[in-house]
Amino acid sequence: MAEEEVGYYVLMEKGKDTEHVFSGKQPRRAALKAATRGFKDIKLRERGVRKDGKCKVHVFKGNVVEVDAPANRPAWLPAKVKKPKVTKVGIEWVKV
């Protein structure tokens, strides 16, 4: 069985790359990591360039909500935990 490769996604703000890089097998996984760190408008550019010089940018809206921890939680886990939520807005193409 072939395993999926992990992708690396660069967070973009105001149309420019930032130093934040998130990884995941799918862009949604990387967006959840970005939302956990407090980003609301999430634009993740895939690393790598196609032959025509364009890159795919995944656009998400994200937030974090506090929920009750599971009943069987370990002793060190607090009663309330943060849970990220993201919604995909679309895909953009940018020329690099």
23-68 tens-digit pLDDT: 999 999 999 999 999 999 999 999 887 888 889 999 999 999 999 9
pTM of the entire structure?
Answer: 0.86
Segment 11-26 mean pLDDT: 94
| Every domain of the chain and the residues it spans | 7-95
Q: Using CA atoms, how far apart are residues 24 and 21, in angstroms rounded to an integer?
A: 10
Question: By the 8 A CB rule, do 12 and 57 touch?
Answer: yes
Rounding to the nearest 10 degrees, give the CA dihedral for residues 64, 69, 70, 75. 140
Helix%, strand%, coil% for the chain, nearest 5: 10, 55, 35
